[in-house]
Amino acid sequence: ETGVTQTPRHLVMGMTNKKSLKCEQHLGHNAMYWYKQSAKKPLELMFVYNFKEQTENNSVPSRFSPECPNSSHLFLHLHTLQPEDSALYLCASSPTAASGGASTDTQYFGPGTRLTVL
């Protein structure tokens, strides 16, 4: 297993709930990412943080709110989600990320949080 952990592994929430996903990396990396993985669709990059600064927001709805208090931790705050937001949410980290979310450093992924919105 890689040094990227995510909690919870499974989450079921109603459309009016507020919940948070947590990601932690133990690799000493400076860049962290949130991806959405839906069935039969390519992984979609959502957010990129580099040295705690958000460098990419890939037109993500405001009901998803990221937070990066330090280079090791990344959160995704969820509120008033829709059923179509049900997916596997993956966190990743890499040594660095250039501006715009681009980096040719290898990204290391966490196990993901399986989110179901009822």
Partner 1 sequence: AQTVTQSQPEMSVQEAETVTLSCTYDTSESDYYLFWYKQPPSRQMILVIRQEAYKQQNATENRFSVNFQKAAKSFSLKISDSQLGDAAMYFCASQGGSEKLVFGKGTKLTVNP
Q: Is 60 in the site for partner 1 (CB under 8 A)?
A: no
Of positions 36, 110, 113, 117, contacts partner 1 by CB under 8 A: 110
Among the candidate windows 11-19, 24-32, 78-86, 109-117, which touches partner 1 by CB under 8 A? 109-117
Of 12, 15, 102, 118, the one binding partner 1 (CB under 8 A) is 102
Contacts of 11 (CB under 8 A, 6+ apart): 19, 21, 113, 114, 115, 116
- Site of interaction with partner 1 (CB under 8 A): 1-2, 4, 40-43, 45, 48, 56, 58, 90, 98-104, 106-112
